[in-house]
Structure 1
Amino acid sequence: MREMARAYTVLGLVVGAAGIGGLWAAGVEFPVAIPPGIVILLAGALVVGLGRRWWWSPAVGVLLGLFVAVGWAVSPSGWGNLTAGRAPPWRPVRRSSWPGVLTARWSPG
């Protein structure tokens, strides 16, 4: 069960990074040249995917899901996108958080 939850967490983080990449490709402006969310989510996916011996590595997926959700909520255009009928960009990442919680719960410590 742990490996499947870890795989879902990694998949959710990668899909979240792809979603941010889609926003970037569509012309959404970001404060720097490469959106930091892409780099952060992909680095988190690497930690979760390759950090099998660390008991805390699944928690990285949970914290990154929270990071993206809070970032969307405090963004000036976040709530406006939701009321305009667009799906929030953090939906895949939010869905990747619960397997991370399960993996952290049942990881050997």
Structure 2
Amino acid sequence: MQTTSRMVTVGGLVLGAAGIGVLWAAGVRFPVAVPPGMVILLAGAVFVGLARWRWAPAVGVLLGLFVAAGWAISPTGWPNLTGRHGAAVAAGQAVQLLGVLIAVGAGAVALRRAGSSARPAPRTPPAGPGPGR
């Protein structure tokens, strides 16, 4: 069911935001007072959950890919995940990654299901005389 995969996408985004919250609570410094990634993921979760467009789960997929790519290219990504900066940081990083990867997978499923459930184009009868004409 599309609604289920859409809600799992929302849950993944919220879980990713919670992971950022754990990182913040563990003392990881962010460029502004409230971690922007947390706000962005929560805003994306609200959008995916409330918007009724077929393509809305794509927002969750894109946000998840963006955060995962940011983690992969960050010089602190792997050290955070492997516990070099403490167990709380490792837990927060793991929760964040798990959440956004869930959002990517579930969002892709929701998009696939939304595309396959789209109403097919009406069939037009063939031109020319038909049987019984």
Letter in 1 for 2:76: S
Moved more, 86-95 or 1-10: 86-95
What is the CA deviation profile of residues 58-94 of structure 1, one whole-angstrom value per residue up to 9, with x for unaligned ones? 1011111101101111222112223437353312210
Quote the sequence identity (%): 59
Q: Which residue of 2 aligns with 1:60?
A: 59
Number of aligned residue pairs: give it: 108
Secondary structure of 1:33 counterpart: coil
- Where in structure 2 are there 5+ consecutive unaligned residues? 85-89, 120-133
Secondary structure of 2:31 counterpart: coil
Change (3 A) 1:55 1:13: same
| Offset at residue 105 of structure 1 (A) | 1.4
- Where in structure 1 are there 5+ consecutive unaligned residues? none
Moved more, 82-91 or 23-32: 82-91
Change (3 A) 1:35 1:80: same
| Offset at residue 103 of structure 1 (A) | 1.0
- Distance, in Å, in 2 between the alignment partners of 1:13 and 1:82 is 19
Moved more, 75-84 or 13-22: 75-84
Q: Give the TM-score normalised by structure 2.
A: 0.74
1:16 aligns with 2:16: yes
Quick one: which of 79, 88, 95 aligns to 2:102?
A: 95
Larger Rg: 2
4+ runs of 1 displaced by more than 4 Å? none
Q: Which residue of 1 aligns with 2:78?
A: 79
